[in-house]
């Protein structure tokens, strides 16, 4: 691979919200395949696994969403909700109702998109659903997903257990995607989260880098600049956890970022991934080795989760809320 081709791959990965490596890995190959389809290039319909994926599917979902038809998340995957939205559109447009986006449906879409727009109903639905769940954690289902790579497995599993204990004490239902020894695939972790009807997915990791000076905490949520979409709740939760962690610890703030990783994209619930420092950095590694520091991380997560469900007027300044305050306020089972 030439240097120029590697640079082009890095540029493409950056544009698509992928991990920037400069290597033509499987995720990049999949994104390249999706990028070659434009709306109208092919008929779109629901098919058995693997489902149809592509920029054309994302464009279809975006157009339907703008007109008020509920496709769910704009994820560029033609699933059951997209088929149902196509059928509803076809019914309203007076064309054959078959759930397939062929020439007649595309023509109707192009014609009506010029005169009908509905703002961001998908974002509003996601935000409203989160608010309707209420402030107490007693009815929330939270999935914790500890990473399994050698440099992180023990650390993030221990932190997950510390978070789990605090959430259980506040009445939440908590599931871990793995135990001490097993290592489910990414697909199995996504399926596990969706099957348990989670309200939130929190994926816990520790980063590593060839440069030992790389350090700090970063949080990721689902978002695609290419498709102009992102998870409203995921972005807010990512911001809350990033702020709480940086206010309560001396981690360097590496900010929040939108990504299109499958763990964020295919999980039905709002999902975040947090990189809790670098195992290859002496300072971060020393911090993570301390039990008291892991306790502080766990408390940061629990407070951020609670703040996500509090009304704005009931919220507190970053870094000031304590778990004991939640118990006193009755925000528990």
H helical segments located in the chain? 3-15, 26-35, 55-66, 80-93, 103-113, 121-132, 153-169, 186-195, 232-248, 262-265, 282-288, 291-309, 323-328
| Range with lowest mean pLDDT among 87-96, 130-139, 292-301, 303-312 | 130-139
Cα separation, 242 vs 275, whole angstroms: 10
pLDDT confidence tier of residue 44, bands split at 50, 70 and 90: very high
| Residue 255, pLDDT above cutoff 70 | yes
Structure-block tokens of residue 207: 């980063």
The torsion angle over the Cα atoms of residues 66, 221, 184 and 300, rounded to 10 degrees, is -140
| Residue 317, pLDDT above cutoff 70 | no
| Residue 180, pLDDT above cutoff 80 | yes
| Residue 253, pLDDT above cutoff 70 | yes
Predicted TM-score (pTM) of this structure: 0.79
| Residue 314, pLDDT above cutoff 50 | no
Sequence-separated (6 or more) residues with CB below 8 Å from residue 98 = 87, 90
Cα separation, 64 vs 74, whole angstroms: 10
| Residue 224, pLDDT above cutoff 90 | no
pLDDT for position 333? 43
Q: Please check whether residue 159 is in contact with residue 108, taking contact to mean a CB–CB distance below 8 angstroms.
A: no
Structure-block tokens of residue 271: 């999902």
| Domains of the chain as residue ranges with CATH | 1-35 (no CATH), 37-119 (1.10.101.10), 134-328 (3.40.630.40)
The owner of tokens 């935000």 is: 127
DSSP character string of 238-302? HHHHHHHHHHHS---EEEEEEE--HHHHS-SS-EEEEEEEETTSHHHHHHHT-HHHHHHHHHHHH
């Amino acid at each position: 691979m030439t240097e120029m081709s590697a640079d082009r791959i890095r540029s493409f990965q950056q544009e698509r919200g992928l991990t920037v490596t400069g290597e033509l890995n499987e995720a990049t190959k999949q994104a390249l395949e999706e990028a070659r389809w434009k709306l109208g290039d092919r008929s779109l319909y629901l098919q058995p696994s693997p489902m149809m994926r592509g920029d054309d599917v994302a464009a279809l979902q975006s157009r339907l969403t703008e007109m008020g038809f509920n496709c769910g998340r704009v994820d560029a995957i033609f699933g059951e909700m997209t088929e149902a939205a196509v059928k509803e559109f076809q019914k309203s447009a007076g064309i054959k109702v078959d759930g397939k986006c062929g020439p007649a449906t595309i023509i109707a879409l192009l014609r009506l998109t010029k005169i009908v727009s509905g703002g961001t109903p998908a974002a509003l639905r996601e935000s409203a659903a989160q608010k309707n769940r209420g402030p107490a954690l007693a009815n929330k289902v939270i999935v914790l997903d500890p990473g399994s790579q050698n440099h992180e497995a023990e650390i993030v599993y221990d932190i997950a257990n510390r978070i789990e204990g605090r959430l259980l004490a506040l009445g939440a239902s908590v599931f871990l995607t793995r135990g001490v020894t097993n290592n489910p695939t990414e697909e199995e972790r996504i399926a596990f989260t969706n099957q348990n009807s989670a309200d939130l997915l929190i994926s816990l990791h520790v980063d590593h880098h060839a440069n030992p000076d790389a350090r700090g905490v970063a949080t990721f949520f689902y978002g695609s600049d290419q498709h102009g979409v992102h998870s409203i709740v995921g972005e807010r939760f990512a911001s809350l956890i990033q702020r709480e962690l940086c206010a309560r610890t001396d981690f360097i703030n590496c900010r929040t970022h939108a990504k299109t990783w499958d763990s964020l994209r295919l999980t039905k619930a709002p999902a975040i991934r947090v990189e809790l420092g670098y195992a290859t950095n002496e300072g971060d590694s020393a911090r993570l080795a301390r039990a008291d520091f892991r306790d502080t991380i766990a408390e940061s997560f629990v407070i951020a989760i609670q703040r996500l469900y509090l009304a704005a007027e009931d919220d507190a300044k970053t870094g000031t809320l304590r778990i004991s305050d939640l118990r006193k306020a009755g925000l528990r089972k």
